[in-house]
Chain A
């Protein structure tokens, strides 16, 4: 019986999707982005919380005339609950208010790859991603 349970558990574990494997801490994520940033630009030294804050607050007029920013949906305070254009709550971005933030690589990459083109009309560099998370981690 015990054997059966154990082998069932093993089968269950083997069948779990790959998502669980990508769990990380925000610090690991920042370290990964630092490695990428070094590859992208040999002059990269370290991430800057100030640059991250600037990126978050930057109000930008897109080529289609729409004014966008990160804070437009996530609100001026990253500890606050934001709102999508379709009336859905967005849980806070700052880990101090939402410990689940920056713990899932696939989730983080999915949203950078959507929102950077939406706001900046281009993908973000590893340095920008690292700056962004570094700033949010510094928010108390």
Chain B
């Protein structure tokens, strides 16, 4: 067990270093509206078994900490994780959070949230609400969208941290295919 802990630590350190490297590296993501690339295998595997990967730069560290502390009642569902896995994901989310990653768009999100608040829904932050204020209520309910939690339904490049308006395609009413999740052979688990 001890060996595994050490290993987890090493993997985690490598991940944090790699992320730092990306931030400080040739691509200047800091001043960009595009969120910096992030990668963590455990985060990817665990979180995307139920939903799209929400970029850690979309919420401040205190929100992620609150989120990860309440996984047994996660938006109405039990998403509990074993403590080592939960802690690894928390460290990754916090290290790359909106108030920590130095990215311009993330900083705007963070600045739009009152200091005493730790929202769990990205769509409840003032910045994100304001950005979507022209979207009519029925658009969110279209079959291909489902809800405001489905960023990738319209933000075709959300997976790359790119939420630029140029890459938004709002699905028409009556098209049932969910963007990013084409119906076809099932993904493994």
Q: A-side interface residues toward B, CB under 8 Å?
A: 14-15, 17-18, 66, 81, 84-92, 98, 100-101, 107, 110, 113-115, 117-118
Cβ-defined contact, A114 with B178, below 8 A: no
Total A-B residue contacts, Cβ distance less than 8 Å: 63
* Apart from A89-B187, A90-B186: 7 A-B pairs, beta carbons within 8 A: A85-B77, A86-B51, A86-B149, A87-B147, A89-B181, A91-B188, A114-B77
Cβ-defined contact, B186 with A89, below 8 A: yes
Interfacial chain A residues near B4, Cβ < 8 Å: 17-18
B100 to chain A, nearest CB (A): 25
**23 intermolecular pairs with C-beta atoms under 8 Å apart:** A17-B4, A81-B183, A81-B186, A84-B50, A85-B50, A86-B52, A87-B153, A87-B178, A87-B181, A88-B48, A88-B52, A88-B181, A91-B186, A91-B189, A98-B186, A98-B188, A107-B189, A110-B81, A113-B78, A114-B80, A117-B72, A117-B78, A118-B78
B146 within 8 A of A: yes
Interfacial chain A residues near B153, Cβ < 8 Å: 87
B76 within 8 A of A: yes
- Please give me the 7 A-B residue pairs with the lowest Cβ-Cβ distance, nearest first: A86-B51, A91-B186, A81-B186, A114-B78, A84-B50, A118-B78, A87-B178
Interfacial chain B residues near A84, Cβ < 8 Å: 50-51
CA–CA, A19 to B150, complex, Å? 31
Interfacial chain A residues near B7, Cβ < 8 Å: 15, 17
CA–CA, A15 to B72, complex, Å? 31
Cβ-defined contact, B186 with A88, below 8 A: no
The number of chain B residues with a CB under 8 A from chain A is 29
B130 within 8 A of A: no
B128 within 8 A of A: no
The 8 Å CB contact of B50, one of A81, A86, A107, A117, is A86
B6 to chain A, nearest CB (A): 10
Cβ-defined contact, B76 with A66, below 8 A: yes
The 8 Å CB contact of A88, one of B3, B51, B72, is B51
Cβ-defined contact, A100 with B189, below 8 A: yes
B169 within 8 A of A: no
Interfacial chain B residues near A66, Cβ < 8 Å: 76
B32 within 8 A of A: no
B79 within 8 A of A: yes
Chain B residues 47-79 with CB under 8 Å of chain A are 48-52, 72, 75-79
Interfacial chain A residues near B49, Cβ < 8 Å: 88
Cβ-defined contact, B188 with A100, below 8 A: yes
The 8 Å CB contact of A86, one of B72, B80, B150, B186, is B150
CA–CA, A14 to B7, complex, Å? 11
Cβ-defined contact, A87 with B51, below 8 A: yes
Interfacial chain B residues near A114, Cβ < 8 Å: 77-80
CA–CA, A88 to B4, complex, Å? 31
- In chain A, what residue has the closest Cβ to B50? A84
Interfacial chain B residues near A87, Cβ < 8 Å: 51-52, 146-147, 149-150, 153, 178, 181
Interfacial chain B residues near A17, Cβ < 8 Å: 4, 7
